Amino acid sequence: IRLPESNTETEVPLSLGSAGVALDAETQVSQIQQALVNNLHWVQGKDEQFANAHDYYTALAHSVRNQLLKKRIRTAKTYAEAKAKNVYYLSAEFLMGRQLGNGLINLGMYDTMRHALADCGLDLDELLEREAEPGLGNGGLGRLAACFMDSLTTLNLPAIGYGIRYEFGIFTQLIRQGHQVEAPDKWLSYGNPWEIARPDYRVEIKFGGHTEVYKKDGDDDYQVRWIQAQTVIGIPHDVPVPGYGTDNVNLLRLWKAEAGEAFDLDAFNAGDYFGAVANKMISENITKVLYPNDETRQGKELRLQQQYFFVACSLQDIIRLHLRDHSNLGNLAEFSAIQLNDTHPAIGVAELMRLLIDEYSFEWAAAWQITQRTFGYTNHTLMPEALEKWSVDLFGKLLPRHLEIIYEINHRFLAQVKLRYPNDPDRLERLSLIEEGGERRVRMANLACVGSHAINGVAALHTELLKQEVLQDFYELWPDKFSNKTNGITPRRWLLQCNPRLAQLISETIGDSWITNLDDLKQLEAHLDDEAFRHAWQAIKQENKWSLARYIHDAVGIEVNPDSMFDVQIKRIHEYKRQLMNVLHVITLYNRMVQNPGDHVVPRTVIFGGKAAPGYAMAKLVVKLINAVADVVNNDPSVNGRLKVVFLPNYNVSQAQRLFPASDLSEQISTAGMEASGTGNMKFALNGALTIGTLDGANVEIREEVGADNFFLFGLTTEQVAACKAVGHNPWYYYDTNPELKRTLDVIASGLFSPGEPDLFLPILDSLLVDDPYMVMADFAAYVQCQEHVSRTYEDRDRWVRMAILNTARIGKFSADRTIADYAREIWKVKAVPVAGE
């Protein structure tokens, strides 16, 4: 490693990528090298001879962060001077992925940095791999929030993302003897160079205790105050969020819980030192760990504490910022749009009411108007069991004042409903914020609907189903509140960064405007008949497959054939997503090979990735089945490499970035009516994979865009699923009438995949044959038939490549830039505030 001598400035003198600073290449390279050595010496206290790759990564990350902070300072100043309206995106999850590569790309420094590092003997790719992934989300919902942050900044919209700085993110998935085992995600072990703690913006959050009525000095009116039992401090940790081709830098502000100032002085004074420290630990537990999505999450007290904690911290921060630029809170809604990413932050409705009424002495009616005008609510699920409800007892214990406020909101709301529907007690019961009968519970979706001026679904089908089913009563009451905002993905991370070869080919062919105007990809259609272009396209896919093959070999020791079709299903493991149907198809292919070894087959590599919630037994059993089938199929000499099955452990954003570019076939096979949108489906198509899918979520719109001829459709529609269930779905019928399906289930029952444990997969067979709630049996034949069509099409490589190009060319609608522009115009009413270049 050859670096210059350090100089005595502790500040890194890097000034690349800034508009207006035209340094020659040589100067840029030497500045980067100087910045690295300075950081090693003066920030990390290391000599370059002893520095390891991680130290270099840290030095590089600090250099990039400094660039971002410089822009951030100017951005904050510009926004404040403009007195601009801000978006506050409240989300319990932000699945940001690694920051360094993205930061370099957005700053326009990627190539220069690679060159500068290579010049002194360092490999950028190797350093990028040193970054721990911040896995502060479960899957689609958290990743959506991350894509939105990228687009908000790219569009120069003033925004802050508010969330939780979990000390442990989504668990690390290990596979042991084919079973999923969870390990803690210690992503902060080596520090986090991207964040800056802001103890100066600390806030105090109350929990528990009771409320009391009192009279303010010199005032005739009664007020209520909340006498808490516990105080927790929220410390914001700021992560700068760059956009592409802009000097604007927005913030992701994540809250960490710490014990109250004089934490339990009483205990200290009583000599109970250990008791006092234990209390400190209880406070700090609030932001300790991300809850994995699972069926039993409801009722978890710590989760309600997390939700309230980050929302209450964020609202205090929003109010502080508002009062810094405006004289009072009366015009809060004119300058702030707060978006609730699902119901996780819905307690914000009650908290803003509490702040306005109890702390800022607003009348109820005025407070309510401000609250409703400020909030928007995005629904993410159609599954009734996933709608959050909290027991009234728990709520009252943790947030006594909020429960009173929710009762009052409910009282006023139901009085209004009664006027409109005088003789409809059932409707009143359904709309109530409180679920009666059995344990009384607060319905967070109802609170979000009542407290927001806008309610949206995340794909056209999803929004329609919301109106007809889950939120039907609210839709009838307030049709104008409802709109659709089909999800999108950022083309920066999901093409430019993850698939540099394809990005370069596209830019060489049509220019690079697609990076911020994804619809421009349409221009690729004009090159469809250009043979050289198609060859180049195919060669890139092939190279990406080779590099994934090497990764698979390193990760799990399986040799795969890069010339085979890469058939990929990567997403959380859930019954409705039907990984099980995919494995049943694999077993069917295997059976055919065993039965008719001489038959011609199109070679496939079927790749799975995804985490099962730790408490979700059926999903974990599916993981085991995939691995068990892989063991048999991959080691059977009669298969002769024509079929391989791979389960890649620990699916996360970094792995996703390797997988999408190398995929041929995208599996989007959820039961119709169950996937709200999906965003993985968009990432595959953007990278030129063809979809096999049902008419579910955004698949419907993807198929409309890319054309029915370029999409492999199969399966029951939402209406057919409902009709089938209404007359009584009988899975045995399919078992008895489809010999291949029967054989597939019989092979599982025979114990072939569970030697020594013949009953291991019985719960799976039971679920399929007893009630088959996800209609796997009903859709199986259509799926297998469609897969045969896929294989035949794949044999005609030229046709396949044309279809792939058309998928990429026509996917522009699914840019998160479009989604965010729609939110900005129709819900938030915010305008761009571009920061002037240096």
List, by residue number, the catalytic residues.
380, 571-572, 577, 679, 683
Closest CB 653 distance from ligand PLP, rounded Å: 5
Contact yes or no for 686/808 (Cβ under 8 A): yes
What sign results for the dihedral spanned by CA atoms 754, 758, 763, 764? Answer: positive
Closest CB 686 distance from ligand PLP, rounded Å: 10
Complex with ligand PLP: residue 140 or 376, whichever CB lies closer: 140
The reply to whether 683 sits near ligand PLP by the rule CB under 6 A is: yes
Strands (E), 373-449: 375-378, 389-391, 434-435, 441-443
Closest CB 678 distance from ligand PLP, rounded Å: 4
Calpha distance 532→536 (Å, rounded) = 6
Question: Phi and psi for 400 in degrees, rounded to 5?
Answer: -60, -40
Q: Which of 101, 140, 348, 451 binds ligand PLP (CB under 6 A)?
A: 140
What's at 822, amino acid-wise? Answer: D
Q: What is the DSSP string of 145-179?
A: HHHHHHHHHHTT--EEEEEE--SB-SPEEEEETTE
Closest CB 126 distance from ligand PLP, rounded Å: 22
Give me the 764-803 binding string for ligand PLP, x by CB under 6 A, dash otherwise. Answer: ----------------------------------------
Residue nearest to ligand PLP according to CB distances in the complex: 680
Q: Which stretch binds ligand PLP (CB under 6 A): 53-61, 139-147, 263-271, 421-429?
A: 139-147
Parallel/antiparallel/unpaired status of strands 86-90 and 172-176: unpaired
Contact yes or no for 655/129 (Cβ under 8 A): no
Closest CB 683 distance from ligand PLP, rounded Å: 5
Closest CB 651 distance from ligand PLP, rounded Å: 6
Q: What is the DSSP string of 83-127?
A: T--EEEEE-S-B----SHHHHHHHHT-HHHHHHHHHHTT--HHHH
Calpha distance 95→761 (Å, rounded) = 33
Q: Which of 492, 571, 578, 810 binds ligand PLP (CB under 6 A)?
A: 571
Contact yes or no for 401/415 (Cβ under 8 A): no
The reply to whether 348 sits near ligand PLP by the rule CB under 6 A is: no
The two tokens of residue 24 are: 């020659």
The reply to whether 443 sits near ligand PLP by the rule CB under 6 A is: no
Question: Phi and psi for 130 in degrees, rounded to 5?
Answer: -75, -15
Calpha distance 418→428 (Å, rounded) = 7
- Going across the sheet that includes 434-435, the strands are 389-391, 441-443, 434-435
Closest CB 680 distance from ligand PLP, rounded Å: 3
The two tokens of residue 661 are: 């570019």
What's at 255, amino acid-wise? Answer: W
Closest CB 573 distance from ligand PLP, rounded Å: 10
What's at 394, amino acid-wise? Answer: L
Q: Which residues, including other chains, have CB under 8 Å from residue 500's CB and lie 6 or more apart? A: none
The reply to whether 143 sits near ligand PLP by the rule CB under 6 A is: yes
Q: Which stretch binds ligand PLP (CB under 6 A): 164-172, 321-329, 395-403, 677-685?
A: 677-685
Calpha distance 493→146 (Å, rounded) = 10
Closest CB 442 distance from ligand PLP, rounded Å: 28
* Count of residues engaged in binding ligand PLP, rule: CB under 6 A: 11
The reply to whether 169 sits near ligand PLP by the rule CB under 6 A is: no
Q: Which stretch binds ligand PLP (CB under 6 A): 197-205, 449-457, 519-527, 676-684?
A: 676-684
Complex with ligand PLP: residue 560 or 669, whichever CB lies closer: 669
Q: Which of 158, 161, 376, 678 binds ligand PLP (CB under 6 A)?
A: 678
- The DSSP output letter for 459 is S
What's at 483, amino acid-wise? Answer: S
What's at 595, amino acid-wise? Answer: Q
Q: Which one, of 296, 303, 302, 257, lies nearest residue 280 by Cα?
A: 257
Contact yes or no for 667/586 (Cβ under 8 A): no
Complex with ligand PLP: residue 260 or 678, whichever CB lies closer: 678
Give the orientation angle of helix 776-795 with respect to helix 762-770, to 10 degrees.
100
Between the two ends of the chain, the Cα-to-Cα distance in Å is 33
Closest CB 369 distance from ligand PLP, rounded Å: 37
Closest CB 578 distance from ligand PLP, rounded Å: 12
The reply to whether 466 sits near ligand PLP by the rule CB under 6 A is: no
Complex with ligand PLP: residue 264 or 667, whichever CB lies closer: 667
Complex with ligand PLP: residue 17 or 97, whichever CB lies closer: 97
The reply to whether 624 sits near ligand PLP by the rule CB under 6 A is: no
Element (H, E) at 138: none
The reply to whether 680 sits near ligand PLP by the rule CB under 6 A is: yes
Closest CB 140 distance from ligand PLP, rounded Å: 4
Closest CB 697 distance from ligand PLP, rounded Å: 8
Complex with ligand PLP: residue 98 or 624, whichever CB lies closer: 98
Q: Which stretch binds ligand PLP (CB under 6 A): 171-179, 353-361, 478-486, 679-687?
A: 679-687
Calpha distance 706→723 (Å, rounded) = 29
The two tokens of residue 548 are: 């994934």
Half-sphere exposure of 600 (CA within 13 A, CB side): 4
Calpha distance 112→22 (Å, rounded) = 13
The reply to whether 139 sits near ligand PLP by the rule CB under 6 A is: yes
The two tokens of residue 357 are: 């009424």
**C-alpha torsion 322→325→328→334, nearest 10:** -60
What's at 768, amino acid-wise? Answer: L
Q: Which one, of 163, 171, 122, 172, lies nearest residue 142 by Cα?
A: 163
The reply to whether 63 sits near ligand PLP by the rule CB under 6 A is: no
Q: Which stretch binds ligand PLP (CB under 6 A): 49-57, 306-314, 361-369, 678-686?
A: 678-686
The reply to whether 679 sits near ligand PLP by the rule CB under 6 A is: yes
Complex with ligand PLP: residue 401 or 577, whichever CB lies closer: 577
Half-sphere exposure of 231 (CA within 13 A, CB side): 12
Give me the 637-666 binding string for ligand PLP, x by CB under 6 A, dash otherwise. Answer: ---------------xx--x----------
CA distances from 778 to 576, 586, 713, 721, 773 (A): 13, 17, 15, 9, 10
Question: Phi and psi for 480 in degrees, rounded to 5?
Answer: -70, -15
Q: Which stretch binds ligand PLP (CB under 6 A): 106-114, 136-144, 165-173, 277-285?
A: 136-144
Q: Which stretch binds ligand PLP (CB under 6 A): 273-281, 311-319, 538-546, 673-681?
A: 673-681
What's at 185, amino acid-wise? Answer: D
- Binding footprint of ligand PLP on the chain (CB under 6 A): 139-140, 143, 571, 652-653, 656, 678-680, 683
